[in-house]
Amino acid sequence: MATACRPGCAAVNPDPVIGLSARQAGLARCGACGTLDRRGDRVVCRLCGARVHSRVPHGLQRVWAFLLVGVLVYVPAMVLPVMLTRSLTMRSDDTIISGVLQLAGQGSYAISIIIFVASICIPAIKFAIIGGLALSLQRGWNMSERSRHRLYRLTELIGRWSMIDVFVVAVLTALIQLGTFITIAPGPGIEAFALSVIFTMLAAGSLDPRLFWDQDTDARSRPR
């Protein structure tokens, strides 16, 4: 019996009575509602109607596909301008990096740090963690389940925050359209950046955390 505890308490059950994963017991857990059924018994869940897979089908292949696209479009996202500013006296095409530097130059350190972390650090960390976890599963690197689990939770938590810069460009464009002296337009880099964030979120979503705990490599290579 799992230990019941008050919210906030992190007591861990000391005596698991079953000692198997659902997969080892020949069961599959519905990813949407948690209903258990015999593996292979049904393709759809008897409660919620979702497709039931013991593990995300072709999980690691999906991770690599999404991650690769995410990394590829991150290159134009960094190189191409994300914001085109036009006025009577000046025109400037800012990339993400030049925007960060410009903000720091104006003394807005807090804002430039926010953008730097959200647009440069978080994507880089996510690429490294997702790629590292996928590699560690494929190559069978010796790594504790718990640290893999923690890294995975971290990517899930921080991934969405990269979108900040996309919203900044959208808000500035919409606001400044109204003025007549200056216009701001989104540059091609921001499209690539938004796509990179979306594909990296999809890659993180395809990484099945249950694979970290599977002892048999069989579970990792089999489709279902």
Partner 1 sequence: MTSDRRIALDDLVACPACDWLHRRPALAAGESAVCARCAHELQSARVDTVDRSLAACLAGLLLLGMAVTLPFLSLSRSGIGSSISVLDSFTALWHGDFHWLGILTLTLIVLLPLLRYALLVAVLLPLRLGRTAGQGSRVAFRWVLKLSPWAMPEIFMVGVAVSLVKVGTVARLDIGLAFWCLLAAIAVSWYLGRVLCPDTIWRRLAGPGAPP
- Residue 33 binds to partner 1 (criterion: CB under 8 A): yes
| Among positions 52, 96, 122, 169, the unique one binding partner 1 when judged by CB under 8 A | 169
SS3 per-residue string spanning 177-207: HCCCCEEEEECHHHHHHHHHHHHHHHHHHHC
Residues 46-85, interacting with partner 1 (CB under 8 A):
47-50, 54
- Residue 14 binds to partner 1 (criterion: CB under 8 A): yes
Closest CB 62 distance from partner 1, rounded Å: 16
DSSP state string for 46-57: TTT-PBP-SS-T
Residues 173-192, interacting with partner 1 (CB under 8 A):
173-182, 185-186, 190-191
Cα–Cα distance measured from residue 133 to residue 158, given in angstroms and rounded to the nearest whole number: 16
- Which residue reads 């926010």 in tokens? 114
- Residue 139 binds to partner 1 (criterion: CB under 8 A): no
| Among positions 61, 170, 217, 222, the unique one binding partner 1 when judged by CB under 8 A | 170
Residues 76-135, interacting with partner 1 (CB under 8 A):
103, 106, 108, 111, 114-115, 118
Considering beta carbons, is residue 46 or 128 the nearer one to partner 1? 46
Closest CB 168 distance from partner 1, rounded Å: 5
- Residue 3 binds to partner 1 (criterion: CB under 8 A): yes
